[in-house]
Chain A
Amino acid sequence: GAVVSQHPSWVICKSGTSVKIECRSLDFQATTMFWYRQFPKQSLMLMATSNEGSKATYEQGVEKDKFLINHASLTLSTLTVTSAHPEDSSFYICSLAGAFTDTQYFGPGTRLTVL
């Protein structure tokens, strides 16, 4: 399967600051990337879907101006949490899919803690 990396693996920031999380495909051209959020003891919730070179499609209830997604290339997508608040503390996970595969591959996740 595809190898997916995320950076950073964990981050602690102050309330009001912005945090950028990178998701990279190391060996796979990802035409579509997904961003999920997972709160403690809960399942994954899809936040948005992005196709390379296009604007992301956000799920209902996810603020697009707060969670900025950029999918600039077939190997890189970034999620920026703007003006983070403690309630944004969560585990953020990206996944990717290619044009010729039915399978979605996930990154290792980024633990965000907002103080």
Chain B
Amino acid sequence: DAKTTQPPSMDCAEGRAANLPCNHSTISGNEYVYWYRQIHSQGPQYIIHGLKNNETNEMASLIITEDRKSSTLILPHATLRDTAVYYCIVRVADGNKLVFGAGTILRVKS
């Protein structure tokens, strides 16, 4: 499984964009990048995923570099409710297994 590297924590001002980086330099050509978040004492919530093109949905945007060795999750207008642990995961190509790393603790402050 390709490993990911994320900063342990980040702060963001309420209303501003939150940009969460992730490095996955050993990603294989058919592996997807997934983002989940976990609010305290809840199960993880799916945010977005992509292969090589940038993706956007109602929650966030995912920007993947051309060499696919890194990506950035963008929350365009962070709110206090976005405070959570954000996990960047590279999914193995032959199954649904997700391997969680330590993630990034995002603190949105008013």
Query: Binding site of A, secondary structure by majority: helix, strand, loop or mixed?
Result: strand
Q: Is A67 an interface residue (CB 8 A)?
A: no
Q: Given contacts A44-B100, A46-B98, is CB(A104)–CB(B46) below 8 Å?
A: yes
Contact yes or no, B41 A91, CB < 8 A: yes
Give B70-110 as 1s and 0s: 1 = Cβ < 8 Å from A's Cβ atoms. 00000000000000000100010000111111110000000
A9 to B92, CA, bound (A): 30
B contact set with A: CB distance below 8 Å: 32, 34, 36, 38, 41-46, 49, 87, 91, 96-103
Please name all residues of chain B whose beta carbon is closer than 8 Å to the beta carbon of A103 when the two chains form the complex: 34, 46, 49
Whole-angstrom distance between the Cβ of B35 and the nearest chain A Cβ = 11
A109 touches which of B41, B91, B100, B101 (Cβ 8 Å): B41
Closest to B44 in A: A106
CB distance from A11 to the nearest CB of B (A): 15
B interface, by DSSP: helix, strand, loop or mixed?
loop
A45→B98 CA distance, assembly (Å): 9
Q: Name the residue on B nearest A2 (C-beta).
A: B46
* A45–B36 CA distance with the chains assembled, in angstroms: 15
Query: Which residue on chain A has the smallest CB distance to residue B101?
Result: A43
Closest Cβ–Cβ distance, residue B30 to chain A (whole Å): 12
User: Can you show 11 pairs from A to B with CB atoms below 8 A apart?
Assistant: A6-B43, A32-B96, A44-B100, A46-B97, A49-B97, A95-B44, A95-B98, A102-B32, A103-B34, A109-B42, A109-B43
The A10-58 residues at the B interface (CB cut-off 8 A) are 32, 34, 36, 43-46, 49
